Amino acid sequence: MPHSAESRINSYWERAAIGLLAIVMSLTVWAFKEQGQRVENLEIKVIALDKVKTDRGDLREVEERLSSTLQALKSDLIARQDISQANILARIDLYMNQQNKK
């Protein structure tokens, strides 16, 4: 009989150990899945930040192009004003010379 009681105690310890091992394995699998989900969330955030960074770079390029276009338009406008002013002054001189001849 002592052999039978010892066998039962060993059987209980084995069952408890198997139960604990199953709990530990379950917790490990759960933690692994949680980490996988966290990694996926972080990857999504990195992709979003990368897109924002790319968008900012594109925005800088557009801003530079607009700035250069506006600068060119400003230079063209100033040149046209100078030409118009010279034309007006030439006409005034011509008119004044005609009035002086009379």
Chain segment 78-91, per-residue pLDDT in tens: 999 999 999 999 99
Comparing CA positions, the residue from 22, 2, 1 lying closest to residue 14 is: 22
Cα distance from N-terminal residue to C-terminal residue, the chain = 150
Instruction: Please give the pLDDT value at position 59.
Output: 82
Helix and strand totals (H; E) in the chain: 1, 0
Instruction: Please give the pLDDT value at position 36.
Output: 87
pTM > 0.85: yes or no? no
